[in-house]
Amino acid sequence: MAGMIVDRAQIARALAEDIGRGDATTLACVSATAEASGRIITRRAGVIAGLPIAQRVFSQLDPAVEFRPAIGEGAVVRPGETVARIFGRAHPILTGERVALNFLGRLSGIATLTARCVSALEGTSTRILDTRKTTPGLRALEKEAVRLGGGQNHRFGLNDGVLIKDNHIKAAGGITQAINAARGQAPHLLKIEIECETLAEVEQAVQAGADVILLDNMSIEMMRSAVAFVRRADPRTLLEASGSIGTDTAKLAAVAATGVDFISLGALTHSAPNFDVSLEFA
């Protein structure tokens, strides 16, 4: 189950939030020596992400708890499928159940939504990207879930690349000024991307030497025109579509058909529905 970053402190915070001063229900009605076995099952079809996190939740409560994945990270599952089996003392299993399932449901939801969006682009060269619109504190996990769903990661943080947006442009005095200033200051290995909302802005960005142009909130027709212009003017320039695209597969296919290199979707992480998983004792 390698791949997903497991942060012990992050899991400890999640457990402390849920347990508080103690698991009153388990302490009240279950013997401290009781043993249990169970399985985590799916309630819907999708892509599983977060098994290493679920495993760590239980092991941090009791290292003796045995967690056996039945599938691998990123596996496609059907409703009712077993994704893991668990054995050990009932107390830590019951106490860690909700936290483990919350992580698993959240991350699998992101992976599942990403896989659906990626499937809409089949047959094209356009790739799906995530954004920084992630749950505070969960960015590394959520971006890994996107990757497991077949998407690619955009910037992890502000230091990963230069992305000049509308407020940067206004503060810098214009598109050309912003790109020139960035070119003079940014390390040579960082690409310079700039957000454009009109064809006139796209032309300025190409002339100023942007590495990547983000076509923001453009109609399909305007995107198509922007792609045609950029491919003629400088074929090396990459094009990213973003803004008000959503996760509708027909819309995604239409955007990809314009010829853009990337589609970035904040919805992959900020609006993914929870993936329904449950723990059932034998």
Please report the pLDDT score of residue 5 as a whole number.
Answer: 76
- H-helix or E-strand spanning residue 36: strand 35-42
- Which of 137, 147, 58, 78 shows the shortest CA–CA distance to 110? 147
Residue 109 sits at the vertex; the CA angle it makes with 42 and 155, to the nearest 5 degrees, is 150
**Is residue 122 classed exposed, middle or buried when 0-12, 13-18 and 19+ CB atoms within 10 A define those classes?**
exposed
The token pair at 6 is 């497991």
- CA 219 to the chain's CA centroid: 25
Say if residues 246 and 88 touch (Cβ distance below 8 Å): no
Q: For 53-72, how does the pLDDT look when each residue is reduced to its tens digit (9 = 90+)?
A: 999 999 999 999 999 999 99
Please report the pLDDT score of residue 215 as a whole number.
Answer: 98
Pairwise CA distance, residues 53 & 8, whole Å = 9
Say if residues 255 and 263 touch (Cβ distance below 8 Å): yes
Please report the pLDDT score of residue 77 as a whole number.
Answer: 98
- Which of 264, 281, 280 shows the shortest CA–CA distance to 133? 264
Q: In the predicted model, what is the mean pLDDT of residues 76-98?
A: 98
Q: In the predicted model, what is the mean pLDDT of residues 255-270?
A: 97
1: confidence class by pLDDT, cuts 50, 70, 90: very low
Q: In the predicted model, what is the mean pLDDT of residues 262-279?
A: 97
Pairwise CA distance, residues 46 & 75, whole Å = 8
- Which of 190, 208, 196, 200 shows the shortest CA–CA distance to 260? 196
Q: Which residues are catalytic?
A: 98, 133, 165, 195, 216
Please report the pLDDT score of residue 2 as a whole number.
Answer: 47
Q: Which amino acid is at 188?
A: H
Q: In the predicted model, what is the mean pLDDT of residues 207-214?
A: 96
Q: Which residues of 154-167 are buried (b: 16+ CB within 10 A; e: fewer)?
A: bbeeeeebbbbeee
Please report the pLDDT score of residue 3 as a whole number.
Answer: 63
Which CA distances in Å does 129 have to 52, 214, 267? 23, 12, 10
Alpha helices in the chain (DSSP H): 8-19, 24-29, 51-61, 90-119, 139-148, 166-172, 175-185, 199-208, 220-233, 249-256, 267-270
In the predicted structure, residue 99 carries a pLDDT above the cut 50: yes
Q: For 111-142, how does the pLDDT look when each residue is reduced to its tens digit (9 = 90+)?
A: 999 999 999 999 999 999 999 999 999 999 99
In the predicted structure, residue 33 carries a pLDDT above the cut 80: yes
Q: For 151-173, how does the pLDDT look when each residue is reduced to its tens digit (9 = 90+)?
A: 999 999 999 999 999 999 999 99
In the predicted structure, residue 43 carries a pLDDT above the cut 60: yes
Please report the pLDDT score of residue 186 as a whole number.
Answer: 86
Q: In the predicted model, what is the mean pLDDT of residues 183-208?
A: 94
Which domains are seen in the chain, by residue range?
Answer: 8-112+273-281 (3.90.1170.20), 119-270 (3.20.20.70)
Which CA distances in Å does 132 have to 8, 163, 176, 267? 23, 12, 25, 11
Mean predicted lDDT score pLDDT of the chain: 96
- Which of 150, 158, 80, 76 shows the shortest CA–CA distance to 120? 150
In the predicted structure, residue 25 carries a pLDDT above the cut 60: yes
192: confidence class by pLDDT, cuts 50, 70, 90: very high
